[in-house]
Structure 1
Amino acid sequence: MGNLVEIRDLSVAFDGVPVLHGVNLQVAPGEALGLVGESGCGKSVTWLAALGLLPSKATVTGSVTLGQAELVDAPRPSLENIRGGRIAMIFQDPSSALNPVIRVGRQMMEALKLHRDLRGDAARKEALRLMDLVGIPDAKNRFNLYPHEFSGGQCQRIMIAMALAGEPDLLIADEPTTALDATIQAQILDLLARLRAEMQMATVFISHDLGAVAQVCERVCVMYAGRIVEQGPVEQLFSCPRHPYTRGLFDAIPRLDGPRAPLTPIPGTVPDPRNLPAGCAFAPRCSHARDFCHNDRPDLLPQQDGRALACAYPLPEARQHKAAPEQVTS
């Protein structure tokens, strides 16, 4: 079976400033893919570009295919049929994504009308079913409430229900637990994992939370400065990260087990996209960098162990990281 979505050589520039540089990735049917990295690395921009949701000042080149359909520069009517129908996106702040002056039931019915042409009693019945599916208590009596009458976690559940209204093949969750406390985060992650299994729906989980990615994803791509620098199966990559940047992300995670120790932050800052280094973008912050790294940019190449790396001097394959996926704490 082929890939559901293929992104090939996707690049984005804002007012002539490149922020995404030739991204290549694939999502298989039913797969759970994690996309991780520091803020500003290009995680969200990748999928906003794929869906044609960037502002007019953005220039997008490359190819994004959903089955046989090309999405880059596709006509607006074609994209509107795909967005919310074939591909749905959950945004990180439900309070700004939901209309505050429209009752949640009506907002859900609008989504059902748009994507499945359901109206009246049929739309109401399906909206209540979706609210029950995502765990909204007493959905019948809360159908006509406004967004401010729900908690943050419940608003996020409403957003997930609306995303499911079009019965999508791919659900993109963009930092869906950022504004939630730890208990509610765990509930939302469990919900996403359950829905994916029940609906056989592919999921892309965009996050800086490595623990959350370990919990819900099968494969992970690590991004830095608009490029993918490492990708592979979650268990393999988490137990033995080979790119120095990936290793740095793990070393910066606070741990609850073992003796207390200071965190090991990654030195320096993410480079300004208007003034990227000539070679590897991570070289100025990398303790393993050599002269080659400062002058030549490595390509993302497949490795013998099945992952892909963009590093001229990767960490040794046998070197095991101190935290396996189930041990990572957020």
Structure 2
Amino acid sequence: MEDHMPLVDIRDLKVAFDGVQVLHGVDLTIEKGEAVGLVGESGCGKSVTWLAALGLLPKKATISGQVMLGRDDLVIASQRQLESVRGRRIAMIFQDPSSSLNPVIRVGRQIEEAIGLHRGLTGKAARAEAKRLLELVEIPDAGRRLDNYPHEFSGGQNQRAMIAMALAGNPDILIADEPTTALDATIQAQILDLLARLRAEAGMAVVFISHDLGAVSEICERVCVMYAGRIVERCPTAALFRSPRHPYTRGLFGAIPRLDAGRERLKPVEGTVPEPGKMPRGCAFSPRCGRATEKCRTSLPILSRLEEDCDVACFHPVLEDAPRHSSRKSAEALSMLELI
């Protein structure tokens, strides 16, 4: 009987720029059809992980480890092989659609180009498919809007157009890199609902990269918390919200406004993320951690199983339950959170 094979299996992924290490051995699996959240402060390596996986980093980047897509290792794949993966097997959408769409080309034409590249359709067939994709992402009057330029779309509509382009190749996995950050709370909720619906209908996996724990709670079944180029905690979403075990994760939750907390002050995570190339000898979080001991400052904790389905990289995890945190639908305060 053949062993189970995840959709994507990232093993000991390391990335350096001009000799300065920014990813320090990321291990991450994505199963078919699942939604995984990747959270943490800016610069922790969330986006770099997937840009490295898709071969989209600049030439000065040095990459090691494995990114297994089925039986293919994308780290050692040729550019031709990677081009056959991008958009077809793995698609990616970004935070600011206005910087991804060409301002002087009609939206419909840009979607048709993606359809032609990934599926070989041209002419009327490509236009009909572009119209179908705009309808799929809930753009009203899709046939007419194909002839609009990006500046004639709202921010939310441009993000929907980017999602339509990402779906042009019928990907197995969609990487959504902060897709709601530039949008207001109402449009954010609509985009999240859209992603959840498309995932259910298409059966594709979704990796949701975000600062917003409220958004993650709504769309993801599993969460990986990153800090300074490493995953420090990974757990099913419900368990993470109930009992975050890593002091850093607990600190992130402490910075979330709670509707039932009255005038209680928020508790930010003190200090700053260490600069690449200036990492502490032991745990990278130890200078900011109130639980740190000499062992933390001299030895590196590895990601280890603490409870069922929950892994934590910490010598002194928090074992008591945290105050209950709400999801986006029950606490709109979460949707405005940016943990930067």
The question of a shared fold, defined as TM-score above 0.5 by the shorter chain, is answered with yes
Q: Where does residue 203 of structure 1 map in the other structure?
A: 206
Mapped to 1, the partners of 2:204 and 2:233 lie a distance apart of 24
Q: How well do the aligned residues superpose, as a CA RMSD in angstroms? A: 1.0
The match for 2:132 among 109, 129, 132 is 129
Distance 1:145 1:194 in 2: 26
Partner amino acid for 1:236?
A: A
Which secondary structure does the structure 1 equivalent of 2:307 belong to?
Answer: coil
Which residue pairs with 1:182 in the alignment?
185
Partner of 1:168: 171
Q: Determine the structure 2 residue equivalent to 1:323.
A: 325
Whether contact under 8 Å (1:115, 1:165) holds in the other structure is yes
1:253 deviates by 1.1
Question: TM-score, with normalisation over the residues of structure 2?
Answer: 0.95
For 1:294, what is the secondary structure of its paired residue? helix
SS of corresponding position for 2:214: helix
Following TM superposition, by how much is the alpha carbon of 1:134 offset from its aligned partner in structure 2, in angstroms?
Answer: 0.1
How many angstroms apart in 2 are the aligned matches of 1:73 and 1:95? 32
**Are 2:69 and 1:74 equivalent residues in the alignment?**
no
Q: How many angstroms apart in 2 are the aligned matches of 1:21 and 1:210? A: 24
Alpha-carbon distance in structure 2 between the residues aligned to 1:235 and 1:52 = 33
Tell me whether 66-75 or 192-201 shows the greater mean CA deviation. Answer: 66-75
Alignment-mate amino acid for residue 52 of structure 1: G
Find the partner of 2:243 among 240, 244, 251.
240
Q: Tell me the residue number matched to 1:279.
A: 282
Hey, what's the Cα distance between the residues in 1 that align with 2:151 and 2:318? 49
- Deviation of the 1:261 alpha carbon: 1.5
1:145-176 superposed Cα distances (whole Å, 9 cap, x missing partner): 11011000000000000000000000000000
Match of 2:41 among 38, 50, 65: 38
Residue in 1 aligned with 2:97? 94
Distance 1:126 1:240 in 2: 45
> Paired residue for 1:217?
220
Q: Deviations over 1:79-104 (max 9, x none)?
A: 00100000000011100000111111
3-state DSSP of counterpart to 1:273: coil
Q: Summarize deviations over 1:126-147 as a string: whole Å, max 9, x none.
A: 1000000001111111111110
Q: For 2:157, give the aligned amino acid.
A: Q
Q: Which residue of 1 aligns with 2:23?
A: 20
- Identify the residue that residue 7 of structure 2 maps to in structure 1: 4
Identity of aligned residues (%): 66
Is it true that 1:251 corresponds to 2:254 in the alignment?
yes
CA distance in 1, matches of 2:243, 2:221: 15
Cα distance, 1:69 vs. partner?
1.1
Aligned equivalents of 2:310, 2:326: Cα separation in 1: 17
CA contact (8 A) 1:29 1:202 kept: yes
Shift of 1:319: 2.0
CA distance in 2, matches of 1:271, 1:183: 35
Deviation at 1:240, TM superposition (A): 0.3
Q: How far apart, CA to CA, are the structure 1 residues paired with 2:120 and 2:323? A: 51
CA distance in 2, matches of 1:167, 1:48: 20
C-alpha deviation, 1:324, in angstroms: 4.4
Deviates more, 1:298-307 or 1:220-229: 298-307
Q: Give me the whole-angstrom Cα distance separating, in 1, the residues matched to 2:131 and 2:240.
A: 40
Residues 103 and 147 of structure 1 are in contact (CA less than 8 Å); yes or no, is this contact kept in structure 2? yes
Letter in 2 for 1:88: A
Q: Distance in 2 between matches of 1:141 and 1:322?
A: 47
What amino acid is the match of 2:322? Q
Structure 2, unaligned stretches of length 5 or more? 336-340
In 1, the alpha carbon distance for the partners of 2:252 and 2:207 equals 20
Give 1:104's match in structure 2, choosing from 99, 102, 107: 107
Secondary structure at 1:10 match in 2: strand
Q: Secondary structure at the match of 1:185?
A: helix
